[in-house]
Structure 1
Amino acid sequence: MSLLAVHDLAVARGGLRAVEGVSFSLAPGQALILRGPNGIGKTTLLRTVAGLQPPVAGRIELAEDAVAYAAHADGLKGALSVTENLRFWAAVFGGGDIGPALAAMDLTHLADRPAAALSAGQKRRLGLARLLVTRRPLWVLDEPTVSLDAESVARFGTAIRAHLGQGGAALMATHIDLGLAEARVLDLAGYRAKAGQQVRPAGFNEAFA
């Protein structure tokens, strides 16, 4: 049984196709790492899988409300404390105790600190801790270790392995070794779309081009 199945997917950025013909699947316990040169379309593909933009072609099969997405923005409210931020996201996603998430990302001692007073690395750890309170099976991650030191990278790697061990899956773009020995790698360089393939959305009127 797959948590995610992608069939002959094409995605676009800025009105032009980025990659096309991409197919893969993820079963419980599996991780897939996207690789490729800057600008190839890794972020665009992740956003498409997460439901933030439509595909140009192909189809994506996954259960409704299966995805927890973490991108470059940490999604924090600066005026709220670490605890309040996590409780907010736990409530949104129907999660429960935030204690394990605080401990997993070494935030327990910062629980009462406003998010605005955190360092860049601490904010990143709090942003990633949100994943642990969503209880969603598929983590879609775009360079999740930005701003993290080596110790925090190791902590997050442990969190991902625990997620996979509990039957979750992870799709990510990263060049950092997270200790995922069994993770598959998909190089998007082989799926680069032909140059100049413009994409016109349904109902596009050339008069307004």
Structure 2
Amino acid sequence: MLEARDLACLRGERAVFAGLSLSLAEGTALLLTGANGAGKSTLLRILAGLLRPAEGAVLWRGEDIAADPAAHARRLRYLSHQDALKPALTVTENLAFFARLWGGEVGRALTAVALAPLAELPARVLSSGQKRRLALARLALAPAPLWLLDEPTTGLDAASVERLGPLLAAHRAAGGIVVAATHLPLPLPDAQELRL
């Protein structure tokens, strides 16, 4: 479903990576690992269509994603380092914004990340781990076949990381793909690893 062919990325005059190829079928997971600055986040942004590679192409079902960026955006969920929350809105209101875009049930998504008891609190009073869980709750809304996750466990306690496991497993069981940049172990059994 997702394929990268001979990708190259330049930062200034320096090659971050070159000749990078990968192919991911339905239900698979790929962990991007490596030192800080190795290009993990950059590769995620290229796979999301947010950055253009210096060379190569990203394909979805054999079609270059650059041919229809809007269609590619609809088929993915991208979770970056920023949680993309409005501090003045409640937990429910923040998630309802995305539910209006994609569909899905806010209550079910909040339950998936154990935030239902905090539903009416403004996002500004949440801890960093709770804010990250609220960002992750977007994954539990309407399905999208491709999840691109940049350090998804940042700020999470052990129980929250464990809670992420069933969410990832259900996505993969439905044929979804997960690509995650991480320095820490993730609950993704049988994941492939690409060290940059």
TM-score normalised by L of structure 2: 0.90
Q: Distance in 2 between matches of 1:40 and 1:166?
A: 31
Conserved 8 A contact 1:77-1:115: yes
Conserved 8 A contact 1:161-1:180: yes
Aligned-residue identity in percent: 51
- Whether 1:121 and 2:129 are equivalent positions in the alignment is yes
How many equivalent residue pairs?
Answer: 185
Q: Distance in 2 between matches of 1:125 and 1:53?
A: 26
What is the deviation of 1:15?
Answer: 5.0
What is the deviation of 1:17?
Answer: 2.2
Q: Which 5+ residue runs of structure 1 have no aligned equivalent?
A: 189-209
Amino acid at match of 2:187: G
Counterpart pick for 2:37 among 29, 36, 39: 39
- Whether 1:86 and 2:103 are equivalent positions in the alignment is no
- Whether 1:97 and 2:105 are equivalent positions in the alignment is yes
TM-score normalised by L of structure 1: 0.84
Conserved 8 A contact 1:89-1:134: no
Q: Which 5+ residue runs of structure 2 have no aligned equivalent?
A: 61-70
Residue correspondence of structure 1 range 152-163 to structure 2 within 5 A: 152-163=160-171
Q: Distance in 2 between matches of 1:135 and 1:5?
A: 20
* RMSD across aligned positions (CA): 1.3
- Whether 1:178 and 2:189 are equivalent positions in the alignment is no
What is the deviation of 1:52?
Answer: 1.3
Amino acid at match of 2:107: G
- Runs of 4+ with >3 A deviation: none
Q: Distance in 1 between matches of 2:18 and 2:192?
A: 19
Amino acid at match of 1:52: L
- Deviates further, 52-61 or 132-141: 132-141
Q: Distance in 1 between matches of 2:54 and 2:87?
A: 36
Counterpart pick for 1:22 among 20, 23, 34: 20
- Whether 1:142 and 2:160 are equivalent positions in the alignment is no
What is the deviation of 1:10?
Answer: 0.8
Conserved 8 A contact 1:31-1:171: yes
Conserved 8 A contact 1:30-1:168: yes
Could you report, residue by residue, the CA deviation over 1:24-55 in whole angstroms, capped at 9, with x for unpaired residues?
11111100001112211111111111111111
